[in-house]
Structure 1
Amino acid sequence: MSFPWDALMHFGMGQLRLSSRDFWQLSLPEIRALSQSMRGGRKAPPRDVLNTLMRAFPDGGS
């Protein structure tokens, strides 16, 4: 059985509209998390939890 790259690329670049650069930078666990969120998997964390996480793990941008 081969890995379903076609389906994965369709999901990432087709449904999510990721650029090919952004798609290929994702890890398989990240793609899995994205697919679960699209299927109503885990719910988003409450705002206070999200704010705490954002302070603990800030983006490295400008």
Structure 2
Amino acid sequence: MSFPWDALMHFGLGQLRLSSRDFWRLSLPEIRALSGTMRGSRQAPSRDIFNSLMQAFPDGDT
């Protein structure tokens, strides 16, 4: 069984619209999280984690 590179690239580059640089920097666990295929991890992040992410990756000028 070969790895489904075509499907993975279509998902990352086509559906998520990631740049090729950002796509190839993702780890497989990150890709699983983006695709919603992580099992047993349905809980939302805590407020502290959410705030940390918002500070690290702001949407724009605030």
- Same fold judged by TM-score > 0.5? yes
**1:1-62 pair list within 5 angstroms:** 1-36=1-36, 42=42, 44-46=44-46, 48-49=47-48, 50-51=50-51, 54=52, 59=56
Gaps of 5+ in 1: none
CA RMSD of aligned residues (A): 2.4
Question: Number of residues paired by the alignment?
Answer: 51
State the 1:44 CA deviation: 3.5
Q: TM-score, normalised by structure 1?
A: 0.66
Runs of 4+ deviating beyond 4 Å = none
Higher helix fraction (1 or 2)? 1
Over the matched positions of the two proteins, sequence identity in percent amounts to 73
Structure with more contact order per residue of length (Cα contacts < 8 Å, sep ≥ 6): 1
